Amino acid sequence: MSPASDPRFPSTAGEAPNAAWQRRSLASVWHPCTQMQRAQTVPPLPIARASGPWLYDYEGGRYFDANSSWWVNLFGHADARLNAALRDQLDTLPHVMLAGCTHAPAVELAERLNALTGGVLGHAFYASDGASAVEIALKMSFHAWRNRGRGNKREFVCVRQGYHGETLGALAVTDVAVFRDAYDPLLMRAHLVASPDARLAAAGESPADVAARALAEVRALFESRHEHIAAFIVEPLVQCAAGMAMHDPAYLRGLRALCDDYEVHLIADEIAVGCGRSGSFFAFEQAAAPAQPAAWPDFVCLSKGISGGYLPLSLVLTRDEIYRVFLDDDIARGFLHSHSYTGNALACRAALAVLDRFAEDDVIARNRAPAAALSAALAPLAEDERIEHLRQRGMIWAFDVREPHAGERFAERFHLAGRARGLLIRPIGRTVYLMPPYVLDDELAAWLAARTLGTLEQTLADAARAAPHHVARTPEPPTA
As measured in angstroms, the least distance from the Cβ of 84 to ligand PLP is: 26
Identify residue 415 by its one-letter amino acid code. H
- Which residue among 303, 342, 344, 455 contacts ligand PLP (CB under 6 A)? 303
Options 6-14, 160-168, 196-204, 352-360: segment touching ligand PLP (CB under 6 A): 160-168
171 binds ligand PLP (CB under 6 A): no
- Which residue among 210, 241, 302, 348 contacts ligand PLP (CB under 6 A)? 241
164 binds ligand PLP (CB under 6 A): yes
394 binds ligand PLP (CB under 6 A): no
Q: Is 130 annotated as a binding residue?
A: yes
Give the H/E segment covering residue 38: helix 36-39
129 vs 298 by CB, closer to ligand PLP: 129
Q: What is the phi/psi pair of residue 340, to 5°?
A: -55, -40
Options 74-82, 125-133, 220-228, 345-353: segment touching ligand PLP (CB under 6 A): 125-133
Query: Using an 8 Å Cβ cutoff, are 238 and 286 in contact?
Result: no
DSSP string of 90-124, one letter each residue: HHH-S---SSS---HHHHHHHHHHHHHTTTSS-EE
Q: Is 123 annotated as a binding residue?
A: no
Query: Using an 8 Å Cβ cutoff, are 408 and 466 in contact?
Result: yes
Options 158-166, 205-213, 351-359, 467-475: segment touching ligand PLP (CB under 6 A): 158-166
- Which residue among 122, 130, 370, 454 contacts ligand PLP (CB under 6 A)? 130
Backbone conformation region of residue 24, classed left if phi is above 0, alpha if psi is from -120 to 50, else beta: alpha
- Which residue among 131, 211, 315, 434 contacts ligand PLP (CB under 6 A)? 131
Binding-site size for ligand PLP (CB under 6 A) equals 14
Query: Using an 8 Å Cβ cutoff, are 382 and 390 in contact?
Result: yes
Nearest to 230 by CA among 192, 190, 194: 190
As measured in angstroms, the least distance from the Cβ of 379 to ligand PLP is: 27
163 binds ligand PLP (CB under 6 A): yes
As measured in angstroms, the least distance from the Cβ of 393 to ligand PLP is: 14
143 vs 304 by CB, closer to ligand PLP: 304
The angle subtended at Cα 324 by Cα 350 and Cα 189, nearest 5°, is 80
245 binds ligand PLP (CB under 6 A): no
Query: Using an 8 Å Cβ cutoff, are 192 and 177 in contact?
Result: no
Residues constituting the chain: 480
Closest residue to ligand PLP: CB criterion: 130
221 binds ligand PLP (CB under 6 A): no
Query: Using an 8 Å Cβ cutoff, are 296 and 120 in contact?
Result: yes
Options 2-10, 124-132, 333-341, 456-464: segment touching ligand PLP (CB under 6 A): 124-132
- Which residue among 27, 134, 242, 302 contacts ligand PLP (CB under 6 A)? 134
Identify residue 476 by its one-letter amino acid code. E
- Encoded one letter per residue, x for contact with ligand PLP by CB under 6 A and - for no contact, window 249-288 reads --------------------x-xx----------------
Give me the residues paired with residue 151 across strands: none
- Which residue among 165, 254, 297, 436 contacts ligand PLP (CB under 6 A)? 165
Options 8-16, 130-138, 281-289, 364-372: segment touching ligand PLP (CB under 6 A): 130-138
321 vs 344: CA distance, rounded Å: 26
DSSP string of 268-299, one letter each residue: EE-TTTTTTTTSSSSGGGGGSPTTS-----SE
Q: Is 269 annotated as a binding residue?
A: yes
Q: Is 133 annotated as a binding residue?
A: no
As measured in angstroms, the least distance from the Cβ of 314 to ligand PLP is: 7
Q: 3-class SS at 61? A: coil
Contacts from 357-361 at CB under 8 Å and sequence distance 24+?
A: 357/74, 357/75, 357/81, 357/82, 357/308, 358/275, 358/276, 358/281
Give the H/E segment covering residue 125: strand 123-127
Question: Binding site: residue ranges?
Answer: 70, 130-131, 163, 269, 304, 338-340, 426
Binding residues for substrate: 70, 163, 304, 338, 426
Applying CB under 6 A, the residues found at the interface with ligand PLP are: 129-131, 134, 163-165, 235, 240-241, 269, 271-272, 303
